[in-house]
Structure 1
């Protein structure tokens, strides 16, 4: 049994670290959402920020856009040319994807400085790509509403999770301690 544990030490450490980091960050995010109820930023600050930024980007592309709090549910309604196009819910703000990314990178950590810099750069990149995803999805829904299922459930999730996967592969191949010890 001891030989088996020694053989899979890196795998066990990865799983333990991943579950721990993912669990702690998920609980912290849940607490953030719970404490956001009733704040002036509806439904929560991050989702509200994504909504405002979506409105700004769409407006800069020439779309008359307004983001309005939903009257029935904790979300934001996206209107383009006074037509209700989409809604932005808490899950659209990208935080759950960023938490997943952070848990994975920390599980394959490198030096503190390099890990922190990669986490910051990767999180900003994921946030930006997610914002672009929402903007493009809104434009797509405006012009091709009959393609909503494939855009929302296939193309855009594939883009965001594909990018996260590429970031992970880049991290593991070029920076992580596990890769350096495996090549020695």
Structure 2
């Protein structure tokens, strides 16, 4: 058993680091959500901001869109050209994806400064791409409502998780301490 632990020390370290960082960030995010009462920003600040920025992007694309509080659930209704096309819920704000991204990068950490700036740049990129993906999904749902299942369950996740995967691969091959071992 001891030989296996020694042999797979780096794998065990990666898994434990990933799980600890993921658990801590998820806990902090849950505390943030629990402290959001929805009175100022509904349903929470980050989800509200994503909804507003998506609305602004849709306006830039030339669509008459608006957002409004959903009367029956903690979400924002997204209306495009007078048609209710989507609801923006807490899960749409990309925070869980960013937490996953950060946990992986820290588990494969490289130099502290490089790791910090990569996490910052990657998180901002994920956030921005998320705004675009919600806008694209909304336009798709407006023009092709019969394709809602494919748009939401295939295209929508493919955009964000595909980009996160590419960011991870770039990190591992270029900046992580693992890449320096392979040179």
State the TM-score bracket (shorter-chain normalisation): over 0.9
SS at 1:85 equivalent: strand
The corresponding residue for 1:10 is 10
> Is residue 10–residue 178 contact of structure 1 (8 Å, CA) maintained in 2?
no
What is the TM-score normalised by the length of structure 1?
0.97
Q: Which runs of 5+ in 1 are unaligned?
A: none
Structure 1 ranges of 4+ moved more than 4 A: none
Between the aligned partners of 1:106 and 1:118, the Cα distance in structure 2 is: 10
The corresponding residue for 1:112 is 112
For residues 65-102 of structure 1, give each alpha carbon's deviation from its aligned partner in whole angstroms, at most 9, with x where no partner exists: 11001000000001112221110000000000000000
Between the aligned partners of 1:133 and 1:113, the Cα distance in structure 2 is: 30
Between the aligned partners of 2:153 and 2:38, the Cα distance in structure 1 is: 31
SS at 2:43 equivalent: coil
Equivalent pairs, count: 183
Q: Which runs of 5+ in 2 are unaligned?
A: none
Between the aligned partners of 2:63 and 2:176, the Cα distance in structure 1 is: 43
Between the aligned partners of 1:38 and 1:152, the Cα distance in structure 2 is: 26
The corresponding residue for 2:150 is 150
Deviates more, 1:36-45 or 1:71-80: 36-45
SS at 1:25 equivalent: helix
What is the TM-score normalised by the length of structure 2?
0.98
Q: CA RMSD in A?
A: 0.9
SS at 1:62 equivalent: coil
